[in-house]
Amino acid sequence: MFKLLKNSLKSRARLAVLTTIHGRIKTPFFMPIATKGAVKNLFPDELESLGASIILSNTYHLYLQPGLTVLKKHGGLHRLMGWSGPILTDSGGFQVFSLSNIRKIVPQGVEFRSHIDGSKHLLTPKKILEIQSVIGSDIVMILDICPSAKDNKKKVAEAVTITTNWARQAKRANNKLKRGQLMFGIVQGGVYRDLRLKSLAELIEIGFDGYAIGGLAVGESSQEMYQVLDYLTPEMPANKPRYLMGVGTPENIIEAVKRGVDMFDCVIPTREARHGRLYIRKNKGLEDGFYQTVNITNAKFKNDTKPINDSNLKDYSRAYLHHLFKTKEPLALRLATLNNLHFYLTLMSDIRQAIKNKKL
């Protein structure tokens, strides 16, 4: 269930509550990434402390490792990883095409060889739902084809056609899901207005619990992304959640929220943490310059006794984190991840507050 609480008068931003099997989530929200069943370096209780209300995992990865037997034995991903909140699982369509060298679209779905051991697999729209039923995902994504930013319009059009076909098959197979699991369709169409609108219209006709916008943040400019949102979100059902997959920078998120998007996920906070790049909030606003990124491995932090941040990491200095990176101590990654996820999750809470206060 998706309950709209407020529509902004200043933009198309909105506040809502999405109800899932494992709890209610205030939108707009950001999902930390636990691709293989673990958020990098963090335990579930730490994610909760950070304010994460939902996490994202991946059907393709979990299907290959640890596999369905292990997932079944644990009664699903929640118990396996010890996270009791909502989980969204991406279908893995994107991963089949980005990780597997050998894959082929066949009438039933997609055939591929595992990037881990070369074993051969066939994923169908129905099978993807069955796997996500075993995983126990609160939000299930259907199998789609995500074209590359380099693909021409013909390729992108083909991807839309197949994605719609698969969406119909998924809808017919939705009895494979557990009671309460929400199923989202994925709009494709690259940066082509007609294809995007066609894809969306077809998915709406089929009918889903929410609509994701896939195939963005794959190499196009931020302006192109905003343009797609400009014409796409007004056509999306107002009473269903909208999910912009794999996005993005803090600016991308704010701009997308203004265009009516409710849900986000991105590797940025965890991936950048690995490289020592920290997101630092400069003021409580959301206007230009409200944050900066710094590379903590830079020599200028060697003697910096200021705290990493003034919130969840006020007891650790920047000099200490610099030292931990320089000496390759694994604690460095934990601290940097805690900083960046705190930044992203606080950003979302500030965005919700700004919509509430009529500032966004």
Using the structure block, give the residue that is written with the tokens 């380099």: 150
Could you say whether residue 70 binds a second copy (CB under 8 A)? yes
Strands, E, within the chain: which ranges? 2-7, 14-20, 23-27, 29-31, 55-58, 87-90, 103-106, 109-113, 120-123, 139-141, 182-187, 210-213, 242-244, 263-265, 277-281, 291-295
**Of these, 40, 126, 258, 342, which contacts a second copy (CB under 8 A)?**
40
Residue closer to a second copy (CB basis): 75 or 234: 75
Residue 45 is a catalytic residue: no
Residue 90 is a catalytic residue: yes
**Of these, 69, 101, 152, 223, which contacts a second copy (CB under 8 A)?**
69
Each residue 285-314 as x (binds a second copy by CB under 8 A) or -, in order, gives -----------------xx-x---------
Looking at residues 75 to 94 of the shown chain, list those that interact with a second copy (rule: CB under 8 A): 80-82
**Of these, 333, 345, 348, 360, which contacts a second copy (CB under 8 A)?**
333
Could you say whether residue 115 binds a second copy (CB under 8 A)? no
**Of these, 78, 176, 242, 322, which contacts a second copy (CB under 8 A)?**
322
**Catalytic choice (138, 144, 262, 265):** 265
Q: Vertex 243, ends 289 and 339: CA angle to 5°?
A: 40
Could you say whether residue 330 binds a second copy (CB under 8 A)? yes
Looking at residues 118 to 177 of the shown chain, list those that interact with a second copy (rule: CB under 8 A): none
Which amino acid, 144? D
Could you say whether residue 320 binds a second copy (CB under 8 A)? yes
In 3D space, the residue among 33, 3, 6 whose CA is nearest the CA of residue 18 turns out to be: 3
Do the bridges between strand 103-106 and strand 210-213 make them parallel or antiparallel, or are there none, so unpaired? unpaired
Residue closer to a second copy (CB basis): 3 or 73: 73
**Of these, 43, 118, 172, 205, which contacts a second copy (CB under 8 A)?**
43
Could you say whether residue 271 binds a second copy (CB under 8 A)? no
Task: Give the Cβ contact number of residue 1 at 10 Å.
Answer: 12
Q: 81-104 burial, b if ≥16 CB within 10 A, otherwise e?
A: bebebbbbbbbbbbbbbebbeeee
Please tell me the distance from the alpha carbon of residue 141 to that of residue 111, in angstroms, as a whole number: 19
C-alpha torsion angle, residues 277, 292, 339, 273 (rounded to 10): -20
Could you say whether residue 275 binds a second copy (CB under 8 A)? no
The residues annotated as belonging to the active site are: 90, 265
Chain positions contacting a second copy, by CB under 8 A? 36-43, 61, 65-66, 69-70, 73-74, 80-82, 302-303, 305, 315-317, 319-320, 322-324, 326-327, 329-331, 333-334
